[in-house]
Amino acid sequence: FLITFATTKERVLPEIQKTSTYPADLKFLLTSTKLHQVIIGGLSLLAILATQFSLAVLPWIVGIYLALSVVGLLLRFLNQSSDEFESDVQQSSLELDFNDLLANRPWMVLFGFGLFQLMGAFVRGGAILYYFKYYCNNESVVPSFFVAGSLAAIAGMLLTKKLTSVFGKKMLMIYMNVGVAVITAAFFLLNPEDTGWMFALYIASSFVGGPSPVLLWSMYADTADYSEWRTRRRATGLVFSAATFSQKMGCAVGAAMTGFALEFFQYAEPVDGVEQLQADVTLNGLCMMMSLIPAGFFLAAAICLAFYSISDRVLDEIETELQARKNAQGPDA
């Protein structure tokens, strides 16, 4: 988070020198091309790593990725001239920046929403292999299960613009998360041999939740406009860097909860490569980690959004007023 914050190009910009970026942000995010590329690239990389490399090679791959990330950050920092943004950047302080962020109630709502949603996704995602291996005794279907869900999510993303025009961003996000919660909870009703239904439910939940990441970042752009509207200080960089931190935090907490849940349900690890017989409480726990537990997090995420105050009407008002302020400053503002 500190690296992200320190290298943000646009921390706080004065309103009179920076117009609202919402239309451009929305156009970019709703096309969601880059998100599709990331998912497709991730699937390709997963296939390569799973078939071409041994476990001994994977630490080297991770190390190379980390090294390239550090080099990229250093190059970006060194190539940024000291006066690159001097004409735009308003004098500010860390305390003032964070006070603005914490006073941005819609952003705080999205912060909580992102935490709950990612916790649900990571608990379920972390349980999938254990679920099929021990509860279903059919771990061979796991790669196909992941790929099917990813393709369904891509298909769902393609409908983001159409669905947003019908329901609006806030209500669409609420409906999607309630739908994902209901579909995910239905896993609790399945028997170990119901593999077909497992695929059907996972594909359905991935498709229904597909627009969520695209829509979430569009809503973060709205909160940047909201902050400028209230404070006359544009803080797009801070809003998005803090949003990135919240996403990473949700991933970390969700991944940790998977381990805590496995320990709570008395999961028996293999001993010297020999699989251990799992107790009934463990099998029931794995079933809950695939159904009721993540469903509860998805439902909590939907409830969070009930407190999100930027409706389409409010957003139109914000955009109109921001444009009026710019026009009042003249063409050179």
State yes or no: pLDDT of 26 exceeds 60: no
- The pLDDT, as a whole number, for residue 172 is 92
Average pLDDT for residues 301-317, to the nearest whole number?
88
Is residue 2, in this structure, part of any structural domain at all?
no
Q: Is residue 80 part of a domain?
A: yes
Q: Is the pLDDT of residue 43 over 70?
A: no
- The answer to whether residue 129 sits within a structural domain is yes
- pLDDT > 90: percent of the chain: 29
| In the chain, % of residues over pLDDT 70 | 75
Of 128-132, 293-297, 310-314, the one with minimum mean pLDDT is 310-314
Domain that holds residue 324: 10-328
What is the pLDDT at residue 319? Answer: 83
Q: What is the pLDDT of residue 19?
A: 47
The answer to whether residue 218 sits within a structural domain is yes
pLDDT mean over 136-153:
90
pLDDT in tens, 45-55: 655 555 555 66
User: Residue 301 has which token pair?
Assistant: 């995420």
Q: Which positions ≥6 away from 224 have C-beta within 8 Å?
A: 21, 22, 234, 235, 236, 239, 240
Please check the confidence at residue 5 and state whether its pLDDT lies above 50: no
Range in 39-43, 138-142, 266-270 with the lowest mean pLDDT? 39-43
Within a 10 A sphere around the Cβ of 32, how many other Cβ atoms?
A: 23
Lowest mean pLDDT among 110-119, 232-241, 244-253, 286-295: 232-241
| Number of structural domains found in the chain | 1
The answer as to whether 20 is a domain residue is yes
pTM score over 0.75: no
**Tell me: the pLDDT tens digits for 163-211?**
988 888 899 999 999 999 999 999 999 999 999 999 999 999 999 999 8
> Is 16 part of a structural domain of the chain?
yes
Does any domain span residue 240?
A: yes
Q: Give CA angle at 178 (122, 283), nearest 5°.
A: 45
Residue 181 C-beta-side C-alpha neighbours within 13 Å = 20
| Single-letter amino acid, residue 222 | D
**Which two three-digit tokens encode residue 177?**
């998360």
Tell me which residue of 128, 141, 98 sits closest to 242, measured CA to CA.
98
Is residue 40's pLDDT more than 60? Answer: no
- Of 238, 221, 226, 220, the C-alpha closest to 322 is 226
101 neighbors 239 (Cβ within 8 angstroms): yes
What value, to the nearest 5°, has the Cα angle with vertex 225 and ends 220 and 231? 120
224: pLDDT strictly greater than 80:
yes
Predicted pLDDT at 20: 45
What pLDDT was estimated at residue 28? 46
Check whether 130 has a pLDDT greater than 80.
yes
pLDDT score, position 31: 45
Average pLDDT score, the chain: 79
Tell me whether residue 5 is in a domain.
no
272 torsion bin: left (phi>0), alpha (psi -120 to 50), beta (else): left
Q: What is the CATH number of the domain that holds 114?
A: 1.20.1250.20
Q: By C-alpha distance, which of 236, 218, 209, 245 is closest to 115?
A: 245
Q: Is the pLDDT of residue 39 over 80?
A: no
Cβ(140)–Cβ(146) below 8 Å: no
What pLDDT score does 102 carry?
A: 77
Token pair, residue 258, equals 């998977």
* Residue 54 phi, psi (nearest 5): -90, 170
